[in-house]
Amino acid sequence: MVTPASGRRPGGRLSTAVATQIGLAAGLLRGWLFSSRRLPAVILATALAAAATGLLAPRVDAGGPSDPARPPARAPGALTTTAGGTVLESGADPLPTGTPPGAVAGLIGSSGTRTARLCWQPADGAAEYVLESRDVAVGETWTTMPYPIKELCYTVQQLLTGHAYEFRIIGSNSAGRGAPSNTVTVTAGPPLPGAVNGLAAVPGAATVELCWHAASGANLYLFDHRDVTAGEAWTTMPYPIKELCYTVQQLVAGHAYEFRIAGSNSAGRGAPSNTVTASVAPGMPLPGAVAGLTAAPGQGTADLCWQAAKDAAEYVLESRDVTASEAWTTMPYPIKELCYTVQQLVAGHAYEFRIAGSNSAGRGAPSNTVTVAV
């Protein structure tokens, strides 16, 4: 019979229950003294108190009926310490593992040269972030980048120029992943050039010299022009300009022209510059009319020859595809000789041609019109 005061049986021997409690407390103390990674003292004290009161000792009913309100007894086991410093018996129910992060918000993206720069706001409880992406241009499904991101910005590399990509970010921690962020779309490639500024025009004899400031991101420039006097629509010169100045030639004396410049790169054309107007003053007399234009068809070609025009320094070719109902267009560079072979004509199409003389004062009257069926 155990006496409540001392826990000893008659004869001075400790009862089994008390001995178990003392042994358990001694094991705790030894583990704390000789451990290389000691628990905080308050945790040790809590465990010793539990051992002393029998909370950590096995409870055995003395053959009596079981109490339905009492949970079944667990077999005692070795004490272990969690990462947070809590003492548990082996076999005890695990502690809650936490919750996944909240949703990522505020994802934004910007385009670079074959790159996309992504930034977002931190998600509650996120230790790192997971990037999901897909190439919309080729119909890809969502794929996950195989390694996590620790920062709140990330630059995606090696994208295909001109392809549109979708991106989303997910917070992650030891409990799992959270809800994905908003989805952003970025088209890879350099951004469009900035607007051209400072375009100025200086008229000359049948010419106008244009100069402008460099546009950010532009490696070439496109030139738009129209003859206001003749009521022309805007047209774009078919080849780009690499410099920051250009002299427009073969203008008609007495006519007013409008000009504008736009920057260009592999991503496309930027915003146009300011529009400038220049009136071409008369200089030397205009060339006389070209006479005697003839044409000989070939295989996809037409050989044109004509007579020299008075005061003409060079000649301008105008043509149109009659079969395709095209309007008259002017070849963008002049001809120095009195014959010219037109190339790359469409078989089965009929074309019309005419020639005008040109000098520093402008263009003369056009020649007779000839028709060639290729």
Q: Give domain 294-373's CATH architecture.
A: Sandwich (2.60)
Per the CB < 8 A criterion, the answer to whether 300 and 347 are in contact is yes
Task: Average the pLDDT over each of 276-280, 282-286, 358-362 and give the range with the smallest value.
Answer: 282-286
> Between 73 and 363, whose confidence is greater?
363
CB count, 10 Å around CB of 10? Answer: 8
Query: pLDDT above 70 covers what percent of the chain?
Result: 73
Look at residue 73 in the predicted model and tell me its pLDDT.
43
For the stretch 1-16, pLDDT in tens is 334 444 445 444 555 6
192 falls in which pLDDT band (50, 70, 90)? confident
> How far, in Å, CA of 14 to CA of 8, rounded?
4
Q: Which residue from 218, 125, 215 is spatially nearest to 179, judged by alpha carbons? A: 125
Does 88 have pLDDT greater than 50?
Answer: no
Domain edges within the chain: 1-59+78-94, 108-187, 200-279, 294-373
pLDDT in tens, 164-183: 999 999 999 999 999 999 99
Cite the DSSP H helix spans in the chain. Answer: 16-34, 41-53
Look up the CATH architecture of domain 108-187: Sandwich (2.60)
> In this predicted structure, which of 42-51, 275-284, 315-324 has the lowest mean pLDDT?
42-51
Higher pLDDT, residue 327 or 190: 327
The verdict on domain 200-279 having CATH code 2.60.40.10 is yes
For the cut 70, the answer to whether the pLDDT of residue 267 exceeds it is yes
Question: pLDDT of 232-256, one tens digit each?
Answer: 999 999 889 999 999 998 888 788 9
Distance from C-alpha of 257 to C-alpha of 200, rounded to nearest angstrom: 13
Specify the residue for token string 């690499």: 242
- Residue 265 CB: number of other CB atoms within 10 A? 18
Distance (Å, rounded) from C-alpha 208 to C-alpha 245?
11
**pLDDT at site 31:** 62
Q: Are 159 and 133 in contact (CB under 8 A)?
A: no
Q: How far apart are CA 364 and CA 290, in angstroms?
A: 8
> Cα–Cα–Cα angle for 257, 258, 260, nearest 5°?
145
Count other C-beta atoms under 10 Å from residue 61's C-beta. Answer: 10
Going by C-beta distance under 8 Å and a sequence separation of 6 or more, which residues neighbour residue 99? 125, 175
User: How confident is the model at residue 361, as a pLDDT?
Assistant: 73
Same fold, 200-279 and 294-373: yes
> Rounded CA gap, 114 and 119, in Å?
17
Q: Identify the CA nearest to 358 among candidates 309, 318, 320.
A: 309
Instruction: Summarize the confidence of residues 134-148 as an average pLDDT.
Output: 93
User: What digits encode the pLDDT tens for the residues 98-138?
Assistant: 899 999 999 999 988 788 999 999 999 999 999 999 999 89
Q: How far is residue 111's CA from residue 107's CA, in Å, rounded to a whole number?
A: 14
**For residues 78 and 372, which has the higher predicted lDDT (pLDDT)?**
372
CA nearest neighbour of 341 among 311, 303, 294: 303
Distance CA 219, CA 243 (A): 9
Judged against a pLDDT cut of 60, whether residue 93 lies above it is answered with: no
CA angle (128 as vertex; 123, 134 as ends), nearest 5: 90
For residues 228 and 314, give the distance between their C-alpha atoms in angstroms, rounded to a whole number.
24
- pLDDT tens digits, 97-107: 689 999 999 99
pLDDT digits (tens, 9 = 90+) for 296-314: 999 999 999 999 999 899 9
- Measured CA to CA in angstroms, residue 296 lies from 301, 323, 372 at distances of 8, 18, 7
242, 244, 245, 246 alpha-carbon torsion, rounded to 10°: 30
